[in-house]
A and B are shown apart, each in its own frame.
Chain A
Amino acid sequence: MTTLQIFFIYFAVMTTLSSILVITRKNAVHSVIWMLVLFVHIAAIYLFLNAELLAAIQIIVYAGAILVLYLFVIMLLNLREEDTKKKFLSQWPLGLITGVVFIMFFILILGKITVFPTPGKYSVEFIKSEGIMMTIGKVLYTEYLLPFEVVSLILLVAIIGAVVLAKKKIS
């Protein structure tokens, strides 16, 4: 077993473990802290894929911004009452069965993959010579211009929605 494999196994196990902890903690603040652990480990997995930029974005955007937002929201809500209630709905066994069946499906299918698609032009060597920011920037503004613009519209709608839903009642 190489060092790389040992590291990968560590990060993979920790990702799974911390995501299970996120959904099983009673205290919402604890859940969010475990989510932080989860995000950091996912960022490390991105590094294994030579995606340094994604790893940085994962840390800055998710761990930095979104998680803080979660914490704010949790602190604004009064969750004392929630602590005394049951964590899961009564349907959780059904959900578990569905999840396990899905995992089985995926395992079955992953074993069947024999042909991999031909690799695209953005190989590791290409990105090393061009720089990851440069490559992503170029692709985003040329090939993926339309999706990029649509995303901006989606964000605009999200902002409008937040404002509209927080408006005062018309008297």
Chain B
Amino acid sequence: MSFLNLNFMYIKPIAPELIITCIALILMLLDLIVRRKEVIALVGIIGTTLALYLTFKVYGLAGPQTVFNGMFVLDGYSSFFKFIFYINAILTICISLKYMEIEKAAYGEYYALLLFATAGMMIIASALDLIVLYLGIELMSLSTYILVGIIRHDTKSNEAAIKYFLLGGFSSAFLLYGASLIYGLTGTTNIGAIAAFISEKGFAGNQMLLLSMALFTVAFGFKIAAAPFHMWAPDAYEGAPTSITAFMSVGPKAAGFAALGRVFMVAFSSIKVEWSTVLIPLAVLSMCIGNIVAISQTNIKRMLAYSSIAHAGYALLGVIAGTNSGLSSMMNYMFIYAFMNIGAFAVVIMLRREGFKGEDLSDYEGLAKNHPLAAALMLVFMFSLTGIPPTAGFIAKFYVFMEVIKTGHVLLAVIAVLFSVASAFFYLRVVMYMYMKEPRGEVILTTSAPICIALAVTALIVIVFGIFPSSLLDFVSLAISG
């Protein structure tokens, strides 16, 4: 048995996680001495950028590096997801500065918790052991529960936090059930060793394995908010502070997909046929419920919540394909989704001002007359969420659908396209309200430099990758190869 042999090489692969954690701790202390929240936010952004740089430096270079007795891995797959998490954290910090002041909840801990949640997501993406995976999920979820309820004088925010917490805890129990069954069957929690044991002993058709897979599906279904495990999403998304809605509709969802991809593609690789049979109804139901129910929503946050359920369904198609290129199309999807979704929420946040919620769809009536630029940006994001070329949303959907057709699920692709068309109804309704209706009252936008930067970056990415997708696709393919 080896004792603590912590030299630098041992720590190097985990350096980005350490930086994010340290910065989160520093932010906690900084909050004591610095009154201005801008400084705290800036330090948070700088720290995240540093971690991003470190991950970028090793991205696509060496093969997978495992440390901590094979519990933690640094590979292209995890690094790619980490990019999504960094971007998610940075953009969320940018859009929340002014907003949290308006909500009268500008606590310094807010930024620390954002980074703790990000650290949890990074651990999930890199976890090669079910215990580490579970703890990463808990770290991420616990931070997110608090963030959802951080406007503690608002009953809606409290309600959202409680609902999210209860159902999140419930889903964790499912994950643990699944993990304990797998442990009982194979005697290990290491994802690679599980796969090796199953193929060695020929356990592929074992009922215990199938039940375990079903329990994992439930747990991950909760995290990615796929129907029929989506019940918490609309309430939690509506009640949470809008910046956190943006954060949790991208980060935890991508982390859930990272875990789903790793566990199902590696640990359950021998029962691929079975799990894709389970995931197909999940994806179809998500697209169906997400897109159909979104039509009847009048609150834009609720509408985007249902849209996020639908997007989980589209991204699931990439996993259902069950190939490496299918997986990379899912990763590509999540990457683009991060930009277009946070961009849309940034516009929603701009409408919020003291004494005015700006969450109703009718608040967007005639926005183009008074604020043409904001309306144009919202138009880009709505087009992208629908999947209309030349935006990046089209590229994302196109590759997922292509992969799913390649593996012979033509009918599934047809259903996805049909629902995609149906989704145009509610996305473009926002556009119609902005451009074709007369303004009802005066809408004043709350702008600040960080939110403008966030909007510019997201809009630029959505358009540039929509017109020149090849560079992004090359970037994603590095993840699977490296």
- A contact residues vs B (CB 8 Å cutoff): 105-106, 108-109, 112-113, 115, 117-120, 138, 141-147, 150-151, 153-154, 156-158, 160-161, 163-165, 167, 169-171
> Within 8 Å CB of B123, what residues of A?
150
- Is A142's CB under 8 angstroms from B4's CB? yes
* B143 nearest CB across to chain A (Å): 5
Interface size on B, residues (CB 8 A): 49
B342 in the interface, Cβ–Cβ < 8 Å? Answer: no
Q: How far is the CA of A146 from the CA of B142 in the complex (A)?
A: 18
Contacts of B72 in A (CB 8 A): 146
CB atoms of B4 and A141 under 8 A apart: yes
9 contacts between A and B (CB under 8 A): A113-B208, A117-B197, A147-B131, A147-B135, A154-B135, A154-B139, A160-B28, A165-B152, A170-B106
Kindly list chain A residues whose C-beta atoms are within 8 Å of the C-beta of B206.
Answer: 112
B136 part of interface (Cβ distance < 8 Å): yes
Chain B neighbourhood of A120, CB < 8 A: 187
Q: Which residues of B contact A (CB under 8 A)?
A: 1-4, 14, 21, 28, 68-69, 71-72, 104-107, 109, 112-113, 116, 119-120, 123, 129, 131-132, 135-136, 138-139, 142-143, 145-146, 149-150, 152-153, 184-188, 197, 201, 203, 206-208, 211
Which residues of chain A are within 8 angstroms of B1 by Cβ–Cβ distance? 138, 142
Task: With a 10 A CB-CB cut-off, give which of A138, A153, A158, A161 has the most chain B CB atoms.
Answer: A153
A-B residue pairs, 8 tightest by C-beta = A117-B187, A161-B146, A146-B68, A150-B135, A109-B207, A169-B153, A164-B109, A170-B104
Q: Is the interface of B mostly helix, strand, loop or mixed?
A: helix
Q: Given A117-B185, A147-B71, A157-B146, do A108 and B207 touch, yes or no (CB 8 Å)?
A: yes
Q: A160 to chain B: which residues have CB within 8 Å?
A: 28, 109, 112-113, 116, 146
Helix, strand, loop or mixed for chain A's interface?
A: helix
Task: Please tell me if the beta carbons of B143 and A147 are within 8 angstroms of each other in the complex.
Answer: no
Q: How far is the CB of B10 from chain A (nearest CB, A)?
A: 10
Residues of A within 8 A of B129 (CB): 147
Looking at the assembled complex, report how far the CB atom of A99 sits from the nearest CB atom of chain B, in whole angstroms: 13
> Would you call A146 and B71 a contact (CB within 8 A)?
yes
A146 to B122, CA, bound (A): 13
Q: How far is the CA of A34 from the CA of B50 in the complex (A)?
A: 52
CA A109 to CA B214, docked complex, whole Å = 13
Residue of B nearest to A155 (CB): B142
Closest chain A residue, CB of each to CB of B129: A147
Could you tell me the distance in whole angstroms from the C-beta of A58 to the nearest C-beta in chain B?
Answer: 17
Given contacts A115-B201, A142-B2, A154-B142, contact A109 B211 (CB under 8 A): yes
Query: Would A150 and B136 count as touching, CB distance under 8 A?
Result: yes
Contacting pair B139 A150 (CB below 8 A): yes
Chain A hits for B21, CB < 8 A: 153
Chain B residues contacting A118 (CB-CB under 8 Å) are 187
Given A142-B1, A142-B2, also A153-B139 (CB < 8 A): yes
What residues on A are CB-neighbors of B146 within 8 Å? 157, 160-161, 164-165
A114 to B294 Cα, complex, angstroms:
48
Tell me if A146 and B207 are in contact (CB < 8 A).
no
> A153 vs B28: C-alpha distance in the bound complex, in angstroms?
13
| Chain B residues near A145 (CB-CB < 8 A) | 4, 68
Chain B positions within 8 Å of A117 at CB level: 184-188, 197
Q: For residue A161, which residues in chain B have a CB less than 8 angstroms away from its CB? A: 113, 142-143, 145-146
Flag if A153 contacts B106 (CB, 8 Å).
Answer: no
Query: A112 CA to B184 CA in the complex, in Å?
Result: 13
**Separation in Å of the A70 CB from the closest CB of chain B?**
16
Q: How far is the CA of A101 from the CA of B377 in the complex (A)?
A: 50
With A160-B112, A164-B109, A170-B104 as contacts: A109 and B197 at CB distance below 8 Å: no
Contacts of B105 in A (CB 8 A): 170
Distance of A156 Cα from B139 Cα, bound (Å): 10
Partner of B116, one of A108, A109, A113, A153: A153
Which residue in chain A gives the minimum CB-CB distance to B103? A170
Q: Give the docked Cα–Cα distance between A119 and B105 (Å).
A: 53
Per the bound structure, the CA–CA distance linking A126 and B104 in Å amounts to: 58
Q: How far is the CA of A108 from the CA of B181 in the complex (A)?
A: 14
